[in-house]
Chains A and B, each alone.
Chain A
Amino acid sequence: GDSVTQMEGPVTLSEEAFLTINCTYTATGYPSLFWYVQYPGEGLQLLLKATKADDKGSNKGFEATYRKETTSFHLEKGSVQVSDSAVYFCALRLTGRRALTFGSGTRLQVQP
Chain B
Amino acid sequence: EAGVTQSPTHLIKTRGQQATLRCSPISGHTSVYWYQQALGLGLQFLLWYDEGEERNRGNFPPRFSGRQFPNYSSELNVNALELEDSALYLCASILTLQGSTEAFFGQGTRLTVV
Contact = CB atoms under 8 A, between A and B. Distances in A.
State the main secondary structure of chain A at its contact with B: strand
15 contacts: A32-B101, A41-B107, A42-B107, A43-B3, A43-B90, A43-B105, A43-B106, A43-B107, A44-B92, A44-B105, A91-B43, A98-B96, A98-B101, A100-B33, A101-B45
A103 B43 CA distance: 7
Of all A-B residue pairs in the complex, the 6 with the closest CB atoms, nearest first, are A104-B42, A43-B105, A102-B43, A44-B105, A43-B107, A105-B42
Interface residues of B, number: 24
Contacts of A42: 107
Contacts of B4: 43
A73 interface: no
B108 A46 contact: no
Interface of B: 3-4, 31, 33, 35, 37, 40-43, 45, 48, 56, 90, 92, 94, 96, 101-103, 105-108
A15 B56 CA distance: 43
A56 interface: no
A66 interface: no
B17 to A, nearest CB: 25
